[in-house]
Amino acid sequence: MTNALLTTLAQRLRELDTGGLRRRRRITDTPCAPQLTIDGAPVLAFCSNDYLGLAAHPQIVEALREGASLYGAGSGASHLISGHSRAHALLEDRLAEFMQPVIPSARALYFSNGYMANLAVVSALAERGTDLFCEALNHASLIDGARLSRATVKVYAHGAVDQLAALLAASDATNKVVVTDSVFSMDGDLAPLAALLALCEQHNAWLVVDDAHGFGVLGQRGLGAFEHVGIYSTRLVYMGTLGKAAGVSGAFIAAHDTVIEWLLQRARPYIYTTAAPPALAHALLTSLAIIGGPEGAQRRTHLNTLIAQFRAGLRLRDWQALPSDTAIQPIIIGANDSTMAAAATLYGDGIWVGAIRPPTVAPGTARLRVTLSAAHSSAEVTRLVDAINRLQAA
């Protein structure tokens, strides 16, 4: 008897190969940094989300070591049993304080990662009968949260404020929740946050924002997308990740005390999982101090200089750079095979840039996704720009 499931899976895998969609992992032997060693060879990488270059920062590494000495390796249980350590509590207090200019009197809840934080917030805030308004390019974790929630989901097109206004006006649900990324992870552009918040106020809806690519990087003090655009509100439910610009691991929700208390009581991705190691929370205290201090400001300034340099240097013929001012700088190529070929040529030059294909992006919009970091030097960005321009000239 043939094994039906294995036959099906093998067939699906062959389809991935035919479509140029099989994905592979490269093994890195060195800490996260622009300069990596892979298979013994040096590589200059432009693909991490370590926007401030904190992932291997000596003070944060030392804090992680100190955290392990103070609290051990594992938490041993979920937060509501016995896994909630002093380090977690201190981090939540610090995060709440940090975000208060954006969400007045916010309280914060620490999660093991952003994927779970998004599942938690969307599935716990929206129930049967709630209308959930989701931006078309939302991150997979927000989409999965919407599926879990049993709410009525209405999707509006990318950036389509007018369409969202019409959907909100037509809704007679008591509870309405608008859910969006702030910085779109594969495009690098910003959601129209001021217009979205105004609509939420007008229609008595809540605004859930995933600021995975904004927290730490955007805003004068690194408070993220809302500081960047200069708006604040108690109607916001804010998700920031701590494994990208913050350089460690985890995520948090900052929101009104009642929202946070409800998540703590009812969000299954918060309750039914072992608390992250306390040492991570301890290390994050140092990371937050750097983000909010003069060094963080310096790193953001340097990053913005590199972003401007990259954009000004590109000479593209057939490919298209998207209008992004953030550290995410995609170059749309279109077909999967030419995107993979471009990435392979760059890799041959010792430069690693991510190649993004469907289903992560729409068919026909495969792209190189360049991400810049404050850890890059201007000379390294020049090397990247020259290599991309050479590809287009060839």
Ligand X SMILES: *Cc1c(COP(=O)(O)O)cnc(C)c1O
Interface with ligand X (CB under 6 A): 113-115, 118, 139, 141, 181, 185, 210, 212-213, 241, 243, 251
Residue 139 or residue 376: which is nearer to ligand X going by CB? 139
Alpha-carbon distance 229 to 190, whole Å? 10
- Residue 353's nearest CA partner among 131, 36, 2, 52 is 36
How many other CB atoms are there within 10 angstroms of residue 127's CB atom? 13
Residue 251 or residue 343: which is nearer to ligand X going by CB? 251
Least Å from the CB of residue 116 to ligand X: 7
Residue 283 or residue 388: which is nearer to ligand X going by CB? 283
Least Å from the CB of residue 140 to ligand X: 8
Find the angle CA(198)-CA(203)-CA(208) to the nearest 5 degrees: 65
Residue 53 or residue 250: which is nearer to ligand X going by CB? 250
79 neighbors 270 (Cβ within 8 angstroms): yes
Least Å from the CB of residue 9 to ligand X: 26
Residue 130 or residue 141: which is nearer to ligand X going by CB? 141
Residue 57 or residue 213: which is nearer to ligand X going by CB? 213
Alpha-carbon distance 291 to 285, whole Å? 10
Residue 30: DSSP 8-state: S
Least Å from the CB of residue 247 to ligand X: 12
Residue closest to ligand X (Cβ): 114
Residue 241 or residue 380: which is nearer to ligand X going by CB? 241
Which residue matches tokens 């077909």?
335
Least Å from the CB of residue 184 to ligand X: 8
333 neighbors 368 (Cβ within 8 angstroms): yes
Q: Give the per-residue SS3 of 158-220.
A: CCCHHHHHHHHHHCCCCCEEEEEECECCCCCCECCHHHHHHHHHHCCCEEEEECCCCCCCCCC
Least Å from the CB of residue 186 to ligand X: 9
**Is the N-terminal amide bond of 359 cis, ω within 30° of 0?**
yes
Least Å from the CB of residue 353 to ligand X: 17
Helix 86-99 to helix 58-71 angle, to the nearest 10 degrees?
140
Contacts of 276 (CB under 8 A, 6+ apart): 75, 88, 110, 111, 112, 249, 250
Residue 48 or residue 113: which is nearer to ligand X going by CB? 113
Strand extents, DSSP E, 89-161: 107-111, 131-135, 152-156
Least Å from the CB of residue 126 to ligand X: 17
